[in-house]
Each structure stands twice: as structure tokens, then as C-alpha cells.
Chain A
Amino acid sequence: MKIEIAGLSKRFGRVTAVDGLSFTARPGAVTAFLGPNGAGKTTTMRILLGLVAPTSGTATIGGRAYRDLPHPTRTVGAVLDAAGFHPAHSARDHLRVYAAMGGHPDARVAELIDRAGLTAAADRPTRGYSTGMRRRLALATALLGDPQVLVLDEPGNGLDPEGVVWLRETLRDLARRGRTVLVSSHVLGEVDRLADEAVVIRDGRLAAAGPADGDLEAMYLDTALGTAKEARP
């Protein structure tokens, strides 16, 4: 399932957050979604996930808007930067709430707690979780429905080196199994060994897009000089 952003714009009052943005993310690859803070990455992702309404343009997953997906969380799993947990809920409580809401079997809850390495803390309230544990729980929530597409906003923020490796292995493995993975970041080092494709945006506009096989840093920095390369198909 392909992610397709086409002519997307979003204005908040007088601020234009996204400005005529178009790009795609293909199945079987990790696409890094890069850009400085405030470039419009989060807004683009929130529009893609139906949380924010676009001013114009479309953002679709397998040709459909998120809202029109028959089984949204079986199709798309998302980790958002701002996502939180009820402080009194344990990881298990949290996952059980969303398993019921998404119509996923309760057996998935134990499976994902295990996979996220949260077994020891599974029944403790999330108020005592470290940043890394929160990130793991957020990704576990996204994977409840074993989705075809993953959309992750800055999932590496605040992860320790072990967590970064765990995240990279998890996402690489998903891409290997044919999933579409779109992951935003403003830290180049984080996505350097992770991404197959890269999309760079600045001021809400596309600055560069293409395979991430070469020098990602050069590709990124080039866009800062206003010498944006033509978007390669």
C-alpha cells in the first residue's frame, strides 16, 4: 500500500504550515521524512492520519483517505510525537483499551508487550515509564493491528543507543516484509542506516526526494542552500 501526498496545503490562520507538497512512499521501503523543526512534517503526518483537515490537496493510503479506511488500525499504525498515556494505566491497560477499540484480539496485547521488551513493566502505571519505555509502548500500540503501513513522527526522540538499534531493527524488519514505513526525523544520524528513500521538506515545500543510498547529509544540506534537486521519481 502506497502513501500518496498530492498538492497538499494547510494554513493555520495566517501561517502556512504545508504548501503544495507532493511525494509518495512505497511498500517494502523505509522512507525518511526529513526537514528542520517547523518544516511541516508533523502537520503533513497529522493530515495523512485524518487528525487535521487539509486546506487543499489530498493525502491517501492505498488510494483512500484515512477516514475512509474500513479497518484503519489494521491498515495503518501510527506513532505521534505528542502521543501520551493515561498516567494511571499500565502498558497492558493501555493496549487493552486500544485492542478493544480497533477490534484486535487480546492475545496481541501480550505478544506486543513481549516484543517491545516491556514484560517486566507491563503492569506498572505508565507515569513511571522512561522516555524509551514510552516510545516502545507507542510503537507497540501502533502495531496492534499488524498494519501494512507505518507512519512514525520522530520515533527516535529521546531513545538511548539500545533503543535506537531496537527501533531500527524493528522498522527494517517491517520494510523487509513488504510494509510501507514513513518515518520523520530532524536527526540525520538516526535515519542514516535506516532509510531506503528520503524526502526533504523546507517551509512546507518539497526540497528533495530520492533514494537514500548516497550521502544523505549532502542531499539534506544541498536543500538548505536553495539548490534543491529535481524530485526524482
Chain B
Amino acid sequence: MIRSELRRLLATRLGWAIVLAPAAIGLGLVGAMTATGPENFQPPMPGLDTAEGVRLLLGVLGLSAFVPAALGTMAVTAEYRHRTIDATFLHAPRRGRVLAGKLVVHAGAGLVYGLVLATTSAAALYGVSALRGTALGLPPGEVLGVLARIGAAMAVYLVIGVGAGALLHNQVAALAAVVGYLYVGEPLLMLMPGVGGVYPLLPGGATSALTGFTYVADAMSAEVGTASITLLTPVLGALVLLGYAVVAAVAAVLAPMRRDVV
């Protein structure tokens, strides 16, 4: 089952996207931000010669979580869109096994994605800052730690995407739901009074806790004028995020069980 899903993934452009998308984000986004320098952002942020500046810059990567989530969603919904799901369930009438195979393969793909993102981001950060002659305000060990956690978060988002795709089937609807939630839904939720308290438990909040990225939470609390939102500790954030992945995985395995495929 795993070999089959691996073959399926590697024979499509989605297989390339697992490597190329994070490389583009790592080299392009981090490269551009490092070249500009956070001190020149609007509004200005602490520069890269401060620990906070480096953390903020890397934390922005957490906002690209919708990319792996979308890739995971597309991987599953492609089966319904192109009507290969019939052949798939004919070859494996115990449908949970199909989804389990997909989860394993895409968790692996998620780790590759995260690794590429972390590596290219590190290369861009150190390469461009060396060119600019800026000494980073955060020691390499900590930089790599933050990047490793971002990479792990990306793997989790890819799995969450697989779960969402298995639940919704329709590619456009599933993509709209996943990307829409991460990009629009969650920020909107935070503007609602009272929801701010829940934010640390939402996927975005948990990701920020894991990566130590407080910019969004701080900006939101400043905007709404509430007390500053306190994020979970990185470990708790990681656990909450993993919890979402487990829920998505269980949903993915159970969802197609009894449904008629017409």
C-alpha cells in the first residue's frame, strides 16, 4: 500500500512540488526578507543583529503553513477529481488501509518538505546576511532549533491537509476550506471578542507557540485592544498541533468507510 502511494505521488507534479515549493519559499521569501532587512519593513521590526529580529523573520515561515496543507489536500482529492478512487477501492476494499498508506507516505513527504524548507531557509538567511555583512543576533544552534520546529510543523500541516481532503472529497471545496481557514478564517476568528482566549489552542496559535512567533498574536491584541494573548509553551504548542494531526489522521481513515462511491 505504501509502495503504491509512493509511486502515485512521485509520478505527478505534486511529487516535485513537495521539494520545489519549500525551496522557493525558503530561498525566495527568506532571501528577500534578509536582503531587505526587517528594520526596513513597514512597520519596522527589530533588525537581524538582534535575537528577536531573527526569530520574527523565521517565524514568518509559519504563515506559509497553508502551502503544505494545500498539497496534502490536493493529493487525496485528486483521486475523487480524476475518478481513480474506484480503482483504488477495488484494489483495497478495506478502505482504511488506503488512507493509512496515504497518511504514512504524506507524513514522509511532509518531513521532506519541512527539511527542504529548513535547509533552504538557513542557506538564504546565512548566505544573504553574510553578503550584507550583518552578524545575526541569534546563535546558529538556536536558529537551527527554530527551523527544525518550523519544518516539523509543516509536516503536521501536510497530514492535516490529507485528513481534510479525505473528509471533503471535492478538491475545490477542500482547498477553499483548508486555505480559507488558515489564511482568512483564523485571523477573522481572532477579531471576535472572547475568541482571543482560544487562539493559543487553534492551529495557527499552536504553530506560533512552537516557532516562538508572537507577532501575529501581538498585532491582534494591539488591534483589538485586549490584554496581550499569551501563547502556549513550545512543547504544549507542539502537542496541540500533533493533536490536530491525529484528529485529521483518524478522520481520514474512518471517513471513507461506509460511504457509497457512486
Do A97 and B89 form a contact, CB below 8 Å, given A53-B258, A85-B82?
no
B71 → A minimal CB distance (Å): 15
Pairs across A and B, CB under 8 Å, 6 listed: A50-B89, A88-B13, A97-B8, A98-B91, A100-B4, A101-B1
Contact call A89/B262, Cβ cutoff below 8 A: no
With a cutoff of 8 Å between Cβ atoms, the chain A residues found around residue B83 in the complex are 82-84
Contact call A102/B260, Cβ cutoff below 8 A: no
- A: contact size bracket: 20 to 34
For the complex, count residues of B whose C-beta is within 8 A of A. Answer: 26
Contact call B90/A73, Cβ cutoff below 8 A: yes
With a cutoff of 8 Å between Cβ atoms, the chain B residues found around residue A100 in the complex are 1, 3-4, 7
Q: Encode contact with A along B236-262: 1 for CB under 8 Å, 0 otherwise.
A: 000000000000000000000010111
Given A78-B86, A86-B8, A100-B1, 7 more A-B residue pairs with CB atoms under 8 Å apart are: A12-B262, A50-B93, A51-B262, A52-B262, A84-B82, A97-B4, A97-B8
Contact call B87/A86, Cβ cutoff below 8 A: no
Contact call B7/A93, Cβ cutoff below 8 A: yes
With a cutoff of 8 Å between Cβ atoms, the chain B residues found around residue A43 in the complex are 262
With a cutoff of 8 Å between Cβ atoms, the chain B residues found around residue A73 in the complex are 90-91
Contact call B87/A87, Cβ cutoff below 8 A: no
Nearest B residue to A141 via CB reads: B87
The yes or no answer to A172 lying at the interface (CB within 8 A) is no
Contact call A66/B78, Cβ cutoff below 8 A: no
Contact call A46/B261, Cβ cutoff below 8 A: yes
Contact among B13, B84, B262 for A85, CB-based, below 8 A: B84
With a cutoff of 8 Å between Cβ atoms, the chain A residues found around residue B91 in the complex are 72-73, 98, 101-102
**Bound complex: CA A100 to CA B1 (Å):** 7
A residues neighboring B (CB under 8 Å) = 12, 43, 46, 49-53, 66-67, 69, 72-73, 76, 78, 80, 82-90, 93-94, 96-98, 100-102, 141
Contact among B7, B78, B262 for A46, CB-based, below 8 A: B262
The yes or no answer to B88 lying at the interface (CB within 8 A) is yes
**Bound complex: CA A155 to CA B4 (Å):** 26
**Bound complex: CA A62 to CA B42 (Å):** 72
Give 9 nearest A-B pairs by CB, closest first.
A84-B83, A100-B4, A101-B4, A93-B11, A101-B91, A51-B261, A52-B260, A100-B3, A67-B93
Q: Encode contact with A along B71-97: 1 for CB under 8 Å, 0 otherwise.
A: 000000010001110111111111000
Contact call A89/B12, Cβ cutoff below 8 A: yes
Contact call A49/B82, Cβ cutoff below 8 A: no
Number of A-B contacts (CB under 8 A): 84
Contact call A86/B78, Cβ cutoff below 8 A: yes
With a cutoff of 8 Å between Cβ atoms, the chain B residues found around residue A141 in the complex are 87
With a cutoff of 8 Å between Cβ atoms, the chain A residues found around residue B82 in the complex are 84-87
Contact among B7, B90, B98 for A96, CB-based, below 8 A: B7
Contact call A88/B84, Cβ cutoff below 8 A: no
Contact among A83, A88, A93, A101 for B92, CB-based, below 8 A: A101
B20 → A minimal CB distance (Å): 15
**Bound complex: CA A227 to CA B219 (Å):** 78
Nearest B residue to A10 via CB reads: B260
A144 → B minimal CB distance (Å): 9
Contact call B4/A80, Cβ cutoff below 8 A: no
Q: Encode contact with A along B1-24: 1 for CB under 8 Å, 0 otherwise.
A: 101100110011100000000000
A138 → B minimal CB distance (Å): 8
Do A86 and B260 form a contact, CB below 8 Å, given A72-B93, A100-B3, A101-B4?
no
Do A88 and B11 form a contact, CB below 8 Å, given A66-B93, A69-B93?
yes
Contact call B4/A53, Cβ cutoff below 8 A: no
With a cutoff of 8 Å between Cβ atoms, the chain A residues found around residue B84 in the complex are 83-86, 94
Contact among A12, A52, A94, A101 for B261, CB-based, below 8 A: A52
B97 → A minimal CB distance (Å): 9
Contact call A97/B7, Cβ cutoff below 8 A: yes
B49 → A minimal CB distance (Å): 46
**Bound complex: CA A51 to CA B93 (Å):** 8
Contact call B86/A82, Cβ cutoff below 8 A: yes
With a cutoff of 8 Å between Cβ atoms, the chain A residues found around residue B98 in the complex are 101
With a cutoff of 8 Å between Cβ atoms, the chain A residues found around residue B11 in the complex are 86, 88-90, 93, 96-97
Q: Encode contact with A along B44-57: 1 for CB under 8 Å, 0 otherwise.
A: 00000000000000
**Bound complex: CA A43 to CA B86 (Å):** 13
